[in-house]
A and B are shown apart, each in its own frame.
Chain A
Amino acid sequence: MNNIISQSLTDLIKNIKDKKISSEEVTKSFIQRAEKSKKLNCYITEDFENAINKAKKFDKKPNYDSKLPGIPVAVKDLFCTRGLKTTAGSKILSNFVPTYESTVTQNMWSEGAIPLGKLNCDEFAMGSSNETSFFGNVQSPIDKNLVPGGSSGGSASAVAGQLSPITIGTDTGGSIRQPASFTGIVGLKPTYGSCSRYGIVAFASSLDQAGPMAQNVKDCALLQEVISTYDPKDSTSIDFKRSHYSEELTNNIKGKKIGIPKEYRVDDMPKEIEDLWQKGIQYVKDCGAETIDISLPHTSYALPAYYIVAPAEASSNLARYDGVKYGFRVKGENLIDMYEKTRSEGFGAEVQRRIMIGTYVLSSGYYDAYYLKAQKVRKLIKNDFDEVYKKVDAILTPSTPSSAFKIGEKTNDPVSMYLNDIFTVPVNLAGLPAISIPAGHDSKGYPLGLQIIGKAFDEQNILNIAFAMEEKINFKNKIADWWIK
């Protein structure tokens, strides 16, 4: 069968179930594609030989009742995989082999998925361009020397470039939605507590969530159905009634009330983004939904608050990397000297910067001025959302304030890099679900995304709105395989 790699997850599953293609054929097709796509630098660790063996094993004894029957999937290298190197994009973990499996990846393998390997990402998921990885930057399949976004940049490039039919990423401040938007794919950041954090290398524990990335909304819904389970191993996992997201998916959104927040109309936003947003508003209206102008007054404080909360939590979480128990160590004259040298050489510049911000805001005498202040602002941001959700069912915004930028364009100015996440960060601070869907192209032909933000635990509703909009938008990703020719 031709064009296996361009098939959606839904089609691949159907063709495998109808015995038109085998898992081995599918797995080999994606591996061949990956072999031809080294220039994208998507993979940190390939596990292709094992993948083919597992696919063969599936074909011998297929379980067609599973949700991802024999489907090969590569995942972000932030998920611990038992027996397979997990680096978090960092030198300090460059030869770490976990003795346990993350719950979300286990859920996928239990439903029949075949692990292909581990995908590149910003170091410890700290970045918006996949340029902070110890293993080099990832190229976007959209254009040469273009960033795929970050931190789940390898994941976004792998799905957009057809190296993996679906994938999972993590989103602490936009790390699923922003790269999804930059590469023309769909990415969902679930409600905090929806997907287990067990076995995910921790960045900022009160913000981190794993979520699906896919070519279309239906595939995204199916993957969310697989990965979202209550997990006693994660004390912040929430036991709520989860929908059968893909089965209950509908494009009927008649009568839904969708809020349009005026604070997301920021200064210097390109006209193309504003136009795209207006188009999105028209699409939801065409689907029979009603749009309502709303205000989220504390929006502009979200990013500064995030840059206190996230580094503070990161500085605590990353204290464990001291050269004692994991891979990388630099010899020192004494124990402290060993710690300091190991961390100086083992962490990259951005990670060091964030650890230092976090250490500073938590240090004696500064806690109230920074961390406590940020927690209060976080409350105000959550209150903003609680208030508007009395009137609306969901919120529609652009996913990012610009399209993808060139590699190296923003690396010397941390603040301008951070501003990329201006529309995605408030969602993490409030623990809400949000999805980015591709909605158009800018004048350079680069994809642009729209974001739909939902109420907590209301993933089904935003998936439905995204599904209805997707039909109207009829987006086609422009991938010309520039890296192969």
Chain B
Amino acid sequence: MTIDLKTVKHISKLSRISIEDEKAKKLAGDLNSIFEFIEKLNKLNTDKVEPLTSIAETTLKLRKDEVKSENIRDQILKNSPNENKDFFVVPKVVE
């Protein structure tokens, strides 16, 4: 399998990472060598193998359903890049 420029563009769109053509070309090369390496797995027959979905075979514990208010809204908003008092602000999404 080869990953062409079109595929790289498609993945970059799905990943929400914009890339220019120059960078996309280099990425295609990198990804191809990585996938060539990954595809070694195809040599292995796994038809009868159950996938490992959880490494820690434990059941989840229940906890009390309690509200713990730390009142840290201001501290959290401080990490947001836009100056705003009460909300996270993003570019307008509704006309």
Q: Which residues of B contact A355 (CB under 8 A)?
A: 15, 17
Partner of A375 from the list B44, B52, B80, B88 (CB cut-off 8 Å) is: B52
Q: Which residues of B contact A329 (CB under 8 A)?
A: 81-82
Q: Is B79 in contact with A382, judged by CB distance below 8 angstroms?
A: no
Please give the number of chain B residues whose Cβ is less than 8 angstroms from any Cβ of chain A in the complex: 51
The verdict on A376 contacting chain B, using a C-beta distance below 8 Å, is yes
The verdict on A255 contacting chain B, using a C-beta distance below 8 Å, is no
Q: Mark A395-423, 1 if CB is under 8 A from B, else 0.
A: 00000000000000000011100100000
Stretch at the interface among A119-127, A155-163, A231-239: A231-239
Q: Mark B74-93, 1 if CB is under 8 A from A, else 0.
A: 01101111100000101111
Q: Is A357 in contact with B31, judged by CB distance below 8 angstroms?
A: yes
Q: How close is A255's CB to chain B, nearest CB, in angstroms?
A: 29
Please give the number of chain A residues whose Cβ is less than 8 angstroms from any Cβ of chain B in the complex: 69
Q: Is B46 in contact with A334, judged by CB distance below 8 angstroms?
A: no
The verdict on A287 contacting chain B, using a C-beta distance below 8 Å, is no
The verdict on A308 contacting chain B, using a C-beta distance below 8 Å, is yes
Please, how many angstroms separate the alpha-carbon atoms of A16 and B17 in the complex? 52
The verdict on B67 contacting chain A, using a C-beta distance below 8 Å, is no
B window 46-95: CB within 8 A of A: 46, 49-56, 58, 60-61, 63, 70, 72, 75-76, 78-82, 88, 90-93
Please, how many angstroms separate the alpha-carbon atoms of A263 and B83 in the complex? 57
Q: Is A232 in contact with B61, judged by CB distance below 8 angstroms?
A: yes
The verdict on A359 contacting chain B, using a C-beta distance below 8 Å, is yes
Q: Which residues of A contact B44 (CB under 8 A)?
A: 298, 301, 377, 380
Please, how many angstroms separate the alpha-carbon atoms of A234 and B28 in the complex? 37
Q: Mark A221-254, 1 if CB is under 8 A from B, else 0.
A: 0000000000010011011000000000000000
B window 1-27: CB within 8 A of A: 3, 7-8, 11-12, 14-19, 27
Q: Is A431 in contact with B56, judged by CB distance below 8 angstroms?
A: yes
The verdict on A78 contacting chain B, using a C-beta distance below 8 Å, is no
Least CB separation from A383: chain B residue: B49
- In the complex with contacts A341-B18, A343-B16, A96-B79 CB distance below 8 A: yes
Q: Is B91 in contact with A307, judged by CB distance below 8 angstroms?
A: no
Residue picked from B8, B31, B51, most chain A C-beta under 10 Å = B51
The verdict on A43 contacting chain B, using a C-beta distance below 8 Å, is no
Q: Is B61 in contact with A239, judged by CB distance below 8 angstroms?
A: yes
Q: Which residues of B contact A322 (CB under 8 A)?
A: 16
Q: Is A324 in contact with B17, judged by CB distance below 8 angstroms?
A: no
Please, how many angstroms separate the alpha-carbon atoms of A326 and B8 in the complex? 27
Q: Is A304 in contact with B30, judged by CB distance below 8 angstroms?
A: no
Partner of A232 from the list B11, B39, B63, B93 (CB cut-off 8 Å) is: B63
28 A–B contact pairs at CB < 8 A? A95-B79, A96-B79, A232-B63, A236-B56, A238-B58, A301-B41, A304-B39, A304-B41, A324-B88, A324-B90, A326-B79, A328-B81, A329-B82, A338-B90, A343-B18, A353-B31, A355-B15, A356-B8, A356-B31, A363-B14, A375-B51, A379-B49, A379-B52, A380-B49, A382-B55, A414-B30, A414-B34, A431-B56
- Sorted nearest first, the 3 A-B pairs with minimum C-beta distance are A375-B51, A431-B55, A329-B81
